[in-house]
Chains A and B, each alone.
Chain A
Amino acid sequence: MDLSILWYLVPSVIMTACGVYGFITRKNLIAMLVSLELILNSADLNFVIFNRFLFPGSMEGMVFTLFAVALAAAETAIAIAIIINIYRSVGDSDIHKVNKMKF
C-alpha cells in the first residue's frame, strides 16, 4: 500500500471543515480563534504536503509554513490582546455582544 498525496490531504480537509464549522458556530471569541488556528494549520500542512509530493527537490513550501507559523503566533498574540481588552470594556467575550462600533 502506498501512502500517496491523497492520504495526507484528507486529514487536512477534515481539519479545514472542522475549522469552518467551528468558526461559524462558536460564539466565544477565543473559541473562534481556536477554530481559526485549525484552518491555518491545515493550510500549513498542505504547503508541506505539496512540497514533499510535488516538488521534493525544493524547500519553498516548508519555508512558507515556517513563516506562516510565525505569522500565526503574531496574529494570535494581537488577537488575544484585543479579546482581553474587549472583555475588560464589554465584560464579555461573546461576539454578538461586541457590536457597539458597527454603526
Chain B
Amino acid sequence: MDSVGNIIVYFIAAIAIAVFSVLTVTSRRILRSATYLLFVLLSTAVIYFQLGYQFLGAVQIAVYAGGIMVLFVFAIVLTHKPNDRSGVLDTHRRIVGLVASGLGTVLLLFALFYMPLPHDASLAECLTSGREITMQQIGEAFTGSGRLQYLLPFEAISVLLLACIIGGVTIARKR
C-alpha cells in the first residue's frame, strides 16, 4: 500500500507528462513546443526522484532541462523566420501520423497487458527491497573496470562528447 502522497505526486507527474507531450507535438509555435518539452522532461525528473534515483533526476534536470533545452532555444531563434507556416499541418499527414502512432500504441499496450509482468509489486515494496544508491556506488561503477563497472563506456562517451563538440563547432561555423 503506497502512501497517498506518493500517489498524488505520481498522478500530477503522469498527467503533466501526458498533457505536455500532446501539447509538444500539436503546438504550432516551435518555441512553445520546446517549452512544453521542458515541462515533460521536468515531470520525468519528478518520476525519477519518486523512484528513488536522485542522481539521475538531478542529471535529467541539469543536462536535459538545463543544457539541451538551451541548445534548442538557440537553434529555434537562429532558424526562426517571420510568418513561419511550418507548424500548420495538413489533414493527410495528420491522419498518417495518427494511424502510425495509434498502431504503435496499440502494439505497446498489447505488449504491456499481455506480458507476464509482476503486477502485484508496489512501489513501496520495491523501494524497501532495493538498496539506496549512493553517489559512491555510482562513482565506483563509473570508474572501475570489473564486472558491472563501466569505465570503458564512460570514457567512450566522454570522447564521443568531445568529438561532438568539435564536430558541432566545425559543422555550424560560418564559412
Contacts and interface: CB of A to CB of B under 8 A. Distances in A.
Q: Do chains A and B touch in the complex (CB under 8 A)?
A: yes
A72 B44 CA distance: 15
A99 interface: no
A76 B137 CA distance: 29
Interface residues on B, range: 35 or more
Contacts of B108: 13, 16-17
Contact of B68 (A24, A25, A37, A57): A37
Contact of A5 (B63, B101, B118): B118
A80 B120 contact: no
B86 to A, nearest CB: 4
A15 B109 CA distance: 13
A9 B110 CA distance: 12
A41 B34 CA distance: 14
B115 to A, nearest CB: 10
Interface in A74-90: 74-78, 80-85, 87-88
A60 B53 CA distance: 12
Task: Bin chain A's interface residue count.
Answer: 35 or more
A49 to B, nearest CB: 7
Contacts of A5: 117-119, 121
Given A3-B123, A52-B52, A13 B105 contact: yes
Contacts of A60: 148
Residue in B25, B48, B150 with the greatest tally of chain A CB atoms within 10 Å: B25
Nearest to A82: B171
11 contacts: A25-B94, A28-B87, A34-B34, A38-B21, A41-B40, A48-B48, A69-B59, A75-B164, A80-B75, A81-B172, A87-B78
Please give me the 3 A-B residue pairs with the lowest Cβ-Cβ distance, nearest first.
A56-B130, A22-B25, A2-B122
Interface of B: 1-2, 6-7, 10, 13-14, 17-18, 21-22, 24-25, 30, 33-34, 37, 40-41, 44, 47-48, 51-53, 55-56, 59-60, 63-64, 67-68, 71-72, 74-76, 78-79, 81, 84, 86-87, 89, 93-94, 96-98, 100-102, 104-105, 108-109, 112-113, 117-123, 126-127, 129-131, 133, 137-138, 141-142, 148, 150, 153, 157, 160-161, 164-165, 167-169, 171-172, 174
Interface of A: 1-11, 13-22, 24-28, 30-31, 33-35, 37-38, 41, 44-45, 48-49, 52-54, 56-60, 62-63, 65-67, 69-78, 80-85, 87-88, 92-94
